[in-house]
Amino acid sequence: MSSKKAGVTFKGTPEQEAKLLEIIAAHKDQPGALMPVLQQAQEVYGYLPIEVQSIIAEGLDIPLEEVYGVVTFYSQFTLYPKGQYKISVCLGTACYVKGSGDVYDRLQQKLGIKGGECTPDGKFSLDACRCVGACGLAPVMTINDEVYGKLLPDDVDEILAKYE
């Protein structure tokens, strides 16, 4: 059992919590309140760590496990924050046949996180995406607004070093 609690320290502010409590109050007695509350909570915090889900569970008087079950069912929700540098590897058809899967694997290995997660220091988050419109440069990844093309797995070290 690998816990899915985010390794990054939660940095929620009192303002964010007040906002969340307002959102909960607005939906509390509605049937199916959980989905809109989760969607708006993610807008407030950017992700849904245990600290946020616990407030929602308490506010809506439902078990934390039920909240977590819904969060992990829908791909629109994330348990992890985005990093200072958001790495996005294209796993679209063209990039994939050119070996972007290997690049993606190398990044996971190098950063010690899985796709969708964020490094504990909050620096890098890693996601897979589908086509950034630069198939001619396949395989492609982006870090924030920077595009890197014609990648080999061995290029990863050098690129990451630029951000250290």
Partner 1 sequence: MEMVNIKINNMPVAVAPGTTILEAAHQAGIQIPTLCYLKEINEIGACRICMVEVKGARSLVTACVYPVSEGMEVFTNTPKVLESRRQNLELLLSTHDRKCLSCVKSGKCELQKLCLDYGVDNESAYDGERIQYEIDDSAPHMIRDNNKCVLCRRCAAVCRKWQDVGVIGANERGFRTNISCAFESPLGEVACISCGQCIVACPTGALSEKDQTQDVLKLLADPEKTVIVQTAPATRVTIGEAFGMPIGTNAEGKMVAALRRLGFNKVFDTNFAADLTIMEEANELVERIQNGGTLPMITSCSPGWVKYCEHYFPEFIPNLSTCKSPQQMFGAVAKTWYAKQIGVDPKNLAVVSIMPCTAKKFEVGRDNESAAGVPDVDVALTTRELARMIQTAGLDFVNLPDEDYDAPLGIDTGAGLIFGATGGVMEAALRTAADWLTGGNASGEALEFKEVRGTEGVKEASYTIGGLTLKIAVCSGLVNAKKVLRAVKEGKADYQFIEIMACPGGCVNGGGQPFQPASVRNFTDLRALRAQGLYRTDAKMELRKSHENPSIIKLYDEFLGKPGSHVAHEVLHTSYVKRPKY
Torsion sign, CA atoms 145, 150, 152, 158: negative
Owner of token pair 């307002």: 22
Q: In this chain, which of 54, 76, 93, 109 binds partner 1, going by CB under 8 A?
A: 54
Residue range at the interface with partner 1 (CB under 8 A); choices 8-16, 36-44, 73-81, 108-116: 73-81
13 touches partner 1 by CB under 8 A: no
Q: In this chain, which of 63, 112, 120, 133 binds partner 1, going by CB under 8 A?
A: 63
Strands laid side by side in the 124-129 sheet: 124-129, 85-90, 141-143, 146-148
Q: Cβ-count burial of 17 within 10 angstroms (0-12 exposed, 13-18 middle, 19+ buried)?
A: middle
Q: Closer CB to partner 1, residue 43 or residue 58? A: 58
Please give the backbone phi and psi of residue 60, each rounded to the nearest 5 degrees, phi first: -95, 0
Residue range at the interface with partner 1 (CB under 8 A); choices 28-36, 61-69, 108-116, 153-161: 61-69
144 touches partner 1 by CB under 8 A: no
Where along the sequence are the contacts to partner 1 (CB under 8 A)? Answer: 1-5, 50, 53-54, 57-58, 62-69, 72-74, 79
